[in-house]
Structures are given as structure tokens and as C-alpha cells.
Structure 1
Amino acid sequence: MSNDQQLFGAGIWHFATYVDRYATDGYGEPRSILDAIKLAGQVEDLSVVDLNYPFFGGDFTREQVKAELDAANLSVVGITPEIYTRVFAKGSFTNPDPGVRRLAHELITEAADVVRYFGADYVKLWPGQDGWDYPFQVDHGALWKNSMDGVAALASENPDLKFAIEYKPREPRVHMSYSSVARTLLGIEKIGLPNVGILLDFGHALFGGESPADSAQLAIDYGRLFGMDVNDNLRQWDDDMIAGTVHPIELFEFFYTLEKNNWKGVWQLDQFPFREDSVAAATSAIDFLKTVQRALGKLDFAAMQEAQDNHDAIGALRLAQKALYTSY
């Protein structure tokens, strides 16, 4: 995928409708993946999407999905196998039942073929049900070994593809197995395969008490930043709000870190507009990301480096704020 021009993307779930534990009747009429692709195609500057697999809302073939993507002038950056649904309630890689662990392996193997079909960049692994809830519930050594072994088997069987682990502190499990950038990097280094990396979700880093810029730098330093998602939250939960609405200066620092390291990739949205119009929410976020682009063009990188070399918080923030807040 060419990076000559910055590509903006979104998880296709951004254009779905949602339920929660209160509005169990949903925040809108259900949409299929084809409906969601049609909406995504209405967002100016949106070029790529991340697709759930299996395709939601009906029994659709890859050819049907591709035809809808072509009509919307969209390509695919990643495939996210749904290894977090009811059948995986006790985990996917970490399920106590080896039969369910095999089922997860088979589903992700199918997703790998879908990645090849669409010419996407990676299989995204979000094992949201892997982990534990209570003290004494699990053998921590065995659980962590299964977390790594499950990914290692897939990566070794599919050396032509990248596997990007999206870490998150909690939800739906109280403690997720891949819960932080550091823990995920430890696991990846233990796995020791070149095609396993991190999908860094800005909001998950915030939620986990991390500095997203620092998390990005760590992943880059280890050569493991395979992809990224942006959104926003109030740091107490994974709210998946519109990017730049709550933590604009930290989001700017995150992209500054990517730029400083010459990291190239899709600037991708992972937002859940429960009550907002999904096309308007995506457009608003991309407008802010384009503001960040303009600000990076204005920012004096040499002066910023000098300020950082001196740990000059006021000087560094003055440079960042001037660049960002005059770029709208």
C-alpha cells in the first residue's frame, strides 16, 4: 500500500449500530456490513477500512463484499476475526477447552485467507475474552503461555502475513491477557517471530494510564508497531469518542512521535458513535487529523528537540500549542 499520500481509514464497525447493557434494543436499526460499507463510502478522504470477519449482518461472500468496497472506492487495511463472541466467553487463545482454542485458530486461519484475498496489511488480533476476572481463577503461567502459543502458531503457519495484537487493559474481561504495551512487547519478544507486532489503539493507551506517545515510541523501538487506531476517551473507560475531542495535545504528541520516527501507515479511526451520525463523526475526526497534518508541517522539529533535550516543558508546549491551534 503506497504511503506517498497519507491514507485515512476506519474500522467498518464505526458505521454499524450498537447495543449496550441498558439499550438492549439498540441505538438504531441493525446494519449489515454492506450497509456499513455504503456509509463509509460517503466519508470524504476515507480510503481504507478494517473489516470484521465473519462479515456481519448476513451470509455474504468475499466477492459481494469486494464489489461493495469497489463501488465505494475503498480498500482493506486489515481483517479482525471475531474471537471475542459468546463461544469464546472463557477465552480464545486462553480458553480452558482445547477444542475452543482450536476453533479460534481455525477462525483466524480463515481470516488470514481473507487478508490475502483483499491484499490487506495484517490480521488484527483483539482477544478481548482472554484473561481472568477473579483472584485464583487461573494459573497465570499457563494462561500467559497459551496467550503466546496461540499467536505463535498462527504466525509460524502464515509467515507471509503480519499479525497485529491490539492490547487493552480490560473489557470484556476484568483483566485482559494482552493488557499493556510493555506486557504485549514482552510476549512478542518471547514469541520471537518477525511477523508479530502491535496495533496501538490511542484510547487503550489512555485508558491504561499510558502516554500514547511513549507507547508508540516503545513499539517503534522494538520494530513492532504494525498499525494504529485513534479515538478519544475520559481515561476511565474505553469510550471510543471522536478523535481529538478530549485529548488533542496528547494526540498531537502521538502523531509527532510517529512523524519523528518516520513511521508510515494508515491513520485509522476506531470510534463508536452510539448516538452520533456515523458519517459526520468520521468526517469530524478526519478533519482533525488533517489539522494535525498541517500542524506537523508547521512545527519546528529542531526547536522541539532542543526543548526536549532540556526537559523544557513550557518551551516544548508553546511550540506544540502554537503549531496545533493555528492549524484549524
Structure 2
Amino acid sequence: MSTQRYGAGIWHFATYVDRYATDGYGPPRSLVEMIDLAGQVDDLSVVDINYPFVDPNLSLDTVGAALKRNNLSVIGITPEIYTRQFARGAFTNPDAGIRRLANEMVNDAAKVVRHFGASYVKLWPGQDGWDYPFQVDHGKLWRMSMDGVGELADQNPDLRFVIEYKPREPRAHMSYDSVARTLLGIEKIGLPNIGILLDFGHSLYGGESPADAAQLAIDHGRLFGMDVNDNFRGWDDDLIAGSVHPIELFEFFYTLRKNKWEGVWQLDQFPFREDSVAAANSAIGFLKVIERALDKLDFDAMQAAQDRQDAVAALDLARRALFSSY
């Protein structure tokens, strides 16, 4: 029997707004309502929760009660250091007062991580970066990016901080835009409690091979978490995992299994028009197919094919294992 745990960002169960449907794709949902929806998903056991809560009067005890009745625990807390007040950046904002506000918000989120016994504080500094040539001093901006994360990790040595990199959006160029650049920053900071949360879709969108990105992060001992979804490589579509790139998703999990990486397999999907529970069940159903395929795959034969760099043999092994596992 599988012991693999599955998770999701709680935003999977939110309602969404874009620049066209500015009135949203459904009625607003409270955090408690989102938790109750998450509880309807088969085999979902953990969630990542945004902070601060949309309802400022919502207590941790109320959130905890909702989690308990839905048999859910918290894997991470994601401070919202990417909203309008941080439009010019969180760690890289030219206003020292805003940078201090970002630090305070993340430290508050760290307290919530401790309260729920979560695994990490997730940092997605989406507004840190630049949009135009000559807009920034690149050396100074990069130092500020590293200093902001390093200060937090130093202030909270008992906690893990994960950086979720992404090439762009909302900034035209994000500071932490790739696995290589993020690893360079982490190694330069030099603290053991900073790692990467590798989002499969961000890696695709950035022109990476997610399997290669995972291997690089593992080789540096910095793969602390992961999210899966899918897209068409031209945008961060956050589609149902495995819907567009099933073979690359299989290779990604093959790389994790090969390196004995253990952790939650987490969804970061945005079902704008789909039923959120059905979309989560569909994704987890496919992840279970991948689990069975990994159990079936001949790892020795795959290694031998890869040692020869025999693409045909390797693909045949992968496709037979994956497509016979439904």
C-alpha cells in the first residue's frame, strides 16, 4: 500500500479573477470554505495556506478546527509578499520601510508555521525584479534579493525557507527566475535552512527540463519541496498535472525516485472554469498512475539505456511502464 502523501495549495479551491473576468469566475470563498472543499478530495492530506488570511478576524484556532474536521495538516505557509503594497518589490523595494514590512510579514508567517507544525515558509517574491532596460542596478538588486531571504533565515534558524522560482509574471523579469540562479543565490547566502520549492510548471515555462532542474537542486541538497501542474510552455497556465506533458512529468518523478527524494507530491493548479474538487481528484489520480509506473519501471534497464544515451530504448521503457499503469 502506498504511503505517498498528496497536497495542494489552498488557492486551488479559491475563485479566480483575471483581467477579463474582473468580476471573478465564481463567488468569493472564505479560507474555511476552501479548507472544507479540500477535505472533499480523495487522498489529499496536506495544504499550503496563504497568509495573512483574507478575513483578518479569522483566528488560528478556527482554521485549526477546519483542518482537523477535514483530516488535513499544513505543509507550508505562503506570505503574500506580492500584493499591491509590494508592487515595486518586497525584498528589492527601493523603500526601506516596505522592505521592513515584507520582513515583518514573513516573520509573522513563520509564527503560523510553528503553530501548525508545518514544514516550511514558502517565499514567492513575485514582484522582486525589473521590467525595463536600465530600470535597476542589477548588482544591487541581486544583493537585496539575497539579503532579504538571508535575513529571514538567520532570524529563524529553526525553520526552513523555500524559494519558488519563476521566470516572469508579475514582473517581466523576476529576481529568482531559474533553478540555476536560485541555487547561486542560496549558495551565496550560505545558510542551511534555505532551499528550493520546484514548481514543475515554472520549470517548463522557463525553458528548463523539470527533471534536470530537480537533479540539480538535489545535487546541491536544496530540493525542499515541489509542486506539480502543467502548461503549454508559453505561460504559467497551472493546468491539471499530466494533461499536457505526461512523459516529462513521469521523468520528473523518476528523477525523484532515483534519488530517493521523499516528500509531499503537491498540486499548484488554478481550475478557473473547472470544478476544483474534480480537478484535484483528476490530478491525484494521474499521480497514482505515475506511482504504479515507477514501481513497474525497470530502473536497471533504464540506467543502461541512459548510459548508452539510447533515446529509443529509454522512451520505450518509460512509455510501456506509464501507459500500462492505468
Q: TM-score range by the shorter chain?
A: over 0.9
Question: What is the match of residue 134 of structure 1?
Answer: 132
Question: What is the match of residue 101 of structure 2?
Answer: 103
Which deviations, in whole Å up to 9, do the C-alpha atoms of 1:251-278 show, x marking residues without a partner? 0000000000000000000000000000
Question: What is the match of residue 278 of structure 1?
Answer: 276
Which deviations, in whole Å up to 9, do the C-alpha atoms of 1:126-159 show, x marking residues without a partner? 0000000000001101100000000000001100
In 1: Cα distance, 2:125 partner to 2:199 partner: 14
Question: What is the match of residue 86 of structure 1?
Answer: 84
In 2: Cα distance, 1:125 partner to 1:112 partner: 11
Q: How many residues align?
A: 325
Tell me, yes or no, if structure 1 residue 258 matches structure 2 residue 217.
Answer: no
Quote how far apart the aligned CAs of 1:56 are. 2.2
Identity %: 75
In 2: Cα distance, 1:59 partner to 1:305 partner: 55
Give the RMSD, CA atoms, in angstroms.
0.7
Question: What is the match of residue 209 of structure 2?
Answer: 211
Quote how far apart the aligned CAs of 1:58 are. 5.2
CA contact (8 A) 1:31 1:57 kept: no
What stretches of structure 1 of length at least 5 have no aligned partner?
none
Q: Secondary structure at the match of 1:227?
A: strand
Quote how far apart the aligned CAs of 1:59 are. 2.4
Quote how far apart the aligned CAs of 1:323 are. 0.2
1:44-123 matches, within 5 Å, as 44-57=42-55, 59-123=57-121
Paired amino acid for 1:112: A
Question: What is the match of residue 35 of structure 1?
Answer: 33
In 2: Cα distance, 1:319 partner to 1:58 partner: 52
In 2: Cα distance, 1:207 partner to 1:59 partner: 37
In 2: Cα distance, 1:58 partner to 1:106 partner: 16
In 2: Cα distance, 1:177 partner to 1:60 partner: 33
Paired amino acid for 1:269: L
Q: Secondary structure at the match of 2:227?
A: strand
For normalisation by structure 2, the TM-score amounts to: 0.99
Paired amino acid for 1:135: P
For normalisation by structure 1, the TM-score amounts to: 0.98
In 2: Cα distance, 1:25 partner to 1:58 partner: 22
In 1: Cα distance, 2:234 partner to 2:149 partner: 29
In 1: Cα distance, 2:57 partner to 2:140 partner: 37
